[in-house]
Amino acid sequence: MRSADAAAIRGGVPADALMESAGSALADELDRRFPRWKRVTVVCGPGNNGGDGLVAARRLAGSGREVALFTLRDPGAYRGDPAVNLERAKAFGLSARSISAPGGLSELRRTLADSDGVVDALFGTGLSRPLEGAARRVVDAIRRAGRPVVAADVPSGLASDGGAIAGPAVRAVLTVGFGAPKPCHLLAPAAALCGRLVIADIGISRRILDARAARFFLAEERDVAESLPARPLDSNKGDFGRLAVFAGSRGKAGAAVLAARGALRGGAGLVTVFGIEPVAAAVVAALPEAMTHVLPETGGALAERGARDAVRALGGFDAAVLGPGLGTSAETVAFLESFLRSTRLPVVLDADALNAFAGRPGALARRPLVLTPHPGEAGRLLGRTARAVQADRLGAARALARRTRSVVVLKGAGTLVAERGGTVVANPTGTPLLATAGSGDVLAGLLGALLAGGAAPRTAAVAATWLHGAAAEALEPTLGDAGLLAHEIADAVPRVRRGLRTATNGRG
């Protein structure tokens, strides 16, 4: 972003115009989302992020709010554009109080207690080490005040280039990012401190930003809307893909039902569950819209000898999902290996189909696949612990995509979709409701439906993860943060798709 700022300035955008745009965007978003706030405390740091806060303070005062303005250091220490904006704030009737002056921190605490909300403009993208001294005490005061916080670009205390939380940091309810998302906005656990993310255009051209992109992108609503195929009035079920779902074993038939339900709710024209007889019976009873194909079993799971029959039966299918609830018996692992050697269909591997290849990701590199591991499954494939995967989710997703030559969907808070070349797309949708049994089975089926409908692997993965998270968000107002049943995620997907169509038509 520093490079992009400099390039924009060289291209003729004045530096003070960038700061004015950033601060104005910050104030505008606060106005839009928190119209009832009357008393706002704005806390500004010593650099350009503080300058953005000074602009926001002036704009907020201009909209009729009572603004209390604090600076981390002596206001007289500002130079350049921040100093200019301090003078503009003063001319507007605002007085800046130094937190570093005697009694300044106590005054800040009293003011915070009487505020409706806080603007955090202490530190932006330049922070590279944990806060200490006066800055740490200010962040602690903001956190203890318990007032909702709107952060300028990056919540203070977070390093913008990763997902780790190295020290004390502000927890925002809204972060207004300037120009483009930063890694900390998208990577857990830092992303949890950013609250709702809004990216504001501050005058840096798309060309300048794209030239500096780090192969790391954020999925947006319009990306998903544009990736979903049109469904003309004269359509028939054959137009939207035939999906085969290999799932379930004795005691785990529900995984097959949920994956098939996710596929049907995701728009697949025809879904057939391939599994042992008890699984087929459960699917028929629970989901009559899905068809079944019985395969031979050994010990309550798929037998290797069924692989040839399965491949022969897939002549009219467009994609397959393998894994939910299959188990990892030696026979089932042999079935999976034989099946993958024999079919060229687009394939989603989930759950036990991933565990079957633990410690040998190279065995999956013979042909492109879509893999949907949670951190534990990713760790087993890579020979790492789940904790190590979580500590570097971006690196783990890229490593697994490279070693398997596949598209990898690393599930979790801020699901990542990685390609073998290193490009990663972060998914912003989802809630704690998704932490429920069967949620991943629904996602696998939904992803398979989009593949069967003709979407490219990365496109299908990005759209499926976005829809899956957005479906849970749609249920959050009535359910809160717990108690979701996985089939409810599937059932909410059509409503989300309808919303996307409405939004797309509205943009016309």
Q: What is the pLDDT of residue 466?
A: 98
Decide if pLDDT at 503 tops 70: no
Element (H, E) at 440: helix 439-452
Taking only the tens place, the pLDDT of each residue in 154-206 is 999 999 988 989 899 999 999 999 999 999 999 989 999 999 999 999 999 99
- What pLDDT is attached to residue 214? 78
Asked if the model's pLDDT at residue 507 lies above 50, the reply is no
* C-alpha distance from residue 110 to each of 22, 64, 94, 103, 106 (Å): 28, 22, 18, 11, 6
Say what the pLDDT of residue 504 is. Answer: 55
Range(s) for CATH 3.40.1190.20 in the chain? Answer: 223-507
- CATH 3.40.50.10260 residue ranges in the chain? 2-214
Diameter of the chain measured on Cα atoms:
83
- pLDDT of the residue at 305: 96
pLDDT of residue 196: 92
Q: Which CATH class is domain 2-214?
A: alpha beta
Tokens in use for 431? Answer: 């809630």
The percentage of residues in the chain with a pLDDT greater than 70, rounded to a whole number, is: 99
Helix (H, G, I), strand (E, B) or coil at 44: strand
In percent, the amount of the chain with pLDDT more than 90 equals: 90
pLDDT for the residue numbered 136: 97
- At 139, the amino acid letter reads V
pLDDT at 127: 85
- Answer yes or no: is pLDDT of 262 > 50: yes
**Confidence tier at 341 by pLDDT (50, 70, 90):** very high
In this prediction, residues 231-249 reach a mean pLDDT of 92
- For residue 313, the tally of other CB atoms under 10 A from its CB is 15
- The rounded distance, in Å, linking the Cα atoms of 221 and 344 is 31
* 505 confidence band (pLDDT: 50, 70, 90): low
Residue 263 pLDDT > 70, yes or no? yes
Instruction: With cut-offs at 50, 70 and 90, classify the pLDDT of residue 234.
Output: confident
Residue 87 pLDDT > 70: yes
- Long-range residue pairs from 399-405, CB within 8 A, at least 24 positions apart, any chain: 400/361, 400/371, 400/373, 403/361, 403/362, 403/365, 404/361, 404/362, 404/364, 404/365, 404/369, 404/371, 405/364, 405/365, 405/367, 405/368
67-94: average pLDDT: 96
345 DSSP 8-state letter? S
Across the chain, mean pLDDT equals: 95
Give the distance, in angstroms, between the CA of residue 445 and the centroid of all CA atoms in the same chain: 19
Region for residue 495 given its phi and psi (left: phi exceeds 0; alpha: psi -120 to 50; beta: otherwise): alpha
CB 53 within 8 A of CB 119: yes
Stated pTM of the model: 0.88
Q: What is the pLDDT of residues 319-332, one digit of tens each?
A: 999 999 999 999 99
Choice among 116-130, 266-280, 284-298 with the minimum mean pLDDT: 116-130
As a whole number of angstroms, the distance between CA 290 and CA 26 comes to 50
223-507, which class in CATH? alpha beta
Query: What pLDDT does 20 receive?
Result: 97
What pLDDT sits at residue 508?
37
Phi, psi of 297 (to 5 degrees): -125, 160
Cβ-contact 23, 53 below 8 angstroms:
yes
Closest CA relative to residue 256, chosen from 488, 486, 457, 411:
486
Peptide bond into 189 cis (omega under 30): yes
